[in-house]
């Protein structure tokens, strides 16, 4: 299965379980969690 949106990254906030990001990555999607981005507990304005 290939990603139909190359160059697009799914940004998953801290309310989404990091397992979801791992599963998406396993399916070929580019997924980034707030934890991976170093933004845990940051406000929306940050």
Predicted confidence (pLDDT) per residue in 1-46, tens digit: 455 556 899 999 999 998 999 999 999 999 999 998 888 888 877 7
Exposed e or buried b per residue across 7-31, where buried means at least 16 C-beta atoms within 10 angstroms of its C-beta: eeebebeeeeeeeebeebeeeebeb
Give residue 44's pLDDT. Answer: 76
Query: pTM (2 decimals)?
Result: 0.69
Give residue 25's pLDDT. Answer: 95
| Token output for 3 | 């990603």
Distance CA 2, CA 18 (A): 21
Report CA torsion sign: 20, 21, 25, 30.
Answer: positive
Give residue 4's pLDDT. Answer: 58
Give residue 6's pLDDT. Answer: 65
């Amino acid at each position: 299965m290939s990603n139909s949106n190359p160059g697009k990254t799914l940004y998953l906030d801290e309310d989404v379980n990091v397992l979801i990001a791992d599963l998406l990555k396993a399916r070929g999607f580019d997924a980034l969690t707030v934890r991976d981005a170093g933004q845990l507990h940051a406000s929306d304005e940050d």
